[in-house]
Amino acid sequence: MGSLFTGNKDTISLSTKIFNFLRDSILDGKYKQGDKLVEIKLAKELGVSRTPVREGLKQLELEGLVENIPNKGVIVKGISEQDISDILTIRLAIEGIAAQWAVERMTNEDFKELKEIYELMEFYTYYKKDVEKILELNTEFHELIYKASKSRYLEYILKGFQRYMKGVRKKSLNTEGRLEEALNEHKEILKAFEERNPKKAKEVLEKHITKLKENALNENK
């Protein structure tokens, strides 16, 4: 079997690629809490040597997504309810700032792209009910706001949180009526940007995250 990572010409190290792959697999639910990640088995499945797998697992441990337990091996921890609550509380504290700055700093092209993403979200919500595609567009919508804030620090922090919230968002969007509700929240955000109203943008984006937090924590009860 060939490696999943052959043919990739970018400069990211093999161990980093494996870390990214395993991290996403954990966050997507392929590997669940309590699962054991066996180095030699992973190396065979991925078509690589054991060294980059070992390094990738160490990075996962530093991220807190796995735990190396003596006599048991590497066990998946995943994202806890406390992690979810903490991340959403931090997002609530700083994402409104990103929205304010983005309204003030975004270009006309940025706004045009934001509107196009929203229109695609609308299409996939009402006509396709495609949660996976909506999740992808949701990430693009928020990350465009982060980028438009012109703050590399805010963008870096908030984009990191987007990765860790994918599974949470998916569960939330599968709640009855949530797809349409979330779309309306994004419509309010878009309207605030169209009006170039920083205060309103901050308020409606914080309202959106508050709703996500309520749904996420209720799902985990």
CATH number of 44's domain: 1.10.10.10
Query: Which one, of 220, 217, 218, 211, lies nearest residue 85 by Cα?
Result: 217
* CATH code, 85: 1.20.120.530
Across 176-201, b (16+ Cβ under 10 Å) vs e yields eebbeebbebbebbbebbeeeebebb
Domain that holds residue 68: 14-76
Q: Same structural domain for residues 116 and 158?
A: yes
pLDDT tens, residue by residue, 110-162: 999 999 999 999 999 999 989 999 999 999 999 999 999 999 999 999 999 99
Q: By three-state DSSP, how is residue 175 classified?
A: coil
Task: Tell me the pLDDT tens digit for each residue of 157-187.
Answer: 999 999 899 888 888 888 889 999 999 999 9
Per-residue tokens: 50: 């054991």
Residue 55 scores a pLDDT above 50: yes
Regarding whether 113 and 207 lie in a shared domain, the answer is: yes
Report the pLDDT value the prediction gives residue 31, as an integer from 0 to 100: 94
| Residue 1 belongs to some domain of the structure | no
How far apart CA 110 and CA 200 sit, in angstroms, is: 18
Give a yes or no: residue 119 inside a domain.
Answer: yes
Q: Is residue 61 part of a domain?
A: yes
Residue 28 lies in a domain: yes
Query: What residues contact residue 202 under an 8 Å CB cut-off, 6+ apart?
Result: 96, 97, 99, 100
Q: Residue 221 has what pLDDT?
A: 58
Q: Is the pLDDT of residue 3 over 70?
A: no
Considering 76, 102, 117, which residue would you say is the last residue of a domain?
76
Number of structural domains the chain divides into: 2
Is the domain of 71 the same as that of 91? no
Query: Confidence class of residue 217 from pLDDT cuts 50, 70 and 90?
Result: confident
Residue type for position 84: I
So what's the pLDDT on residue 5?
A: 65
Give the pLDDT of residue 1.
46
d(CA 119, CA 190): 10
Direct distance between the N- and C-terminal alpha carbons of the chain, in angstroms, rounded to an integer: 42
User: Could you give the CA distance from residue 109 to residue 89 in angstroms, rounded to a whole number?
Assistant: 31
Residues 44, 152, single domain; the answer is: no
- Please report whether residue 60 resides in a domain: yes
pTM: 0.86
In Å, what is the CA distance from 33 to each residue of 28, 48, 77?
A: 12, 25, 5
Structure tokens at 55: 């390094």
Domain co-membership, 96 together with 123? yes
Average pLDDT over residues 208-213: 93
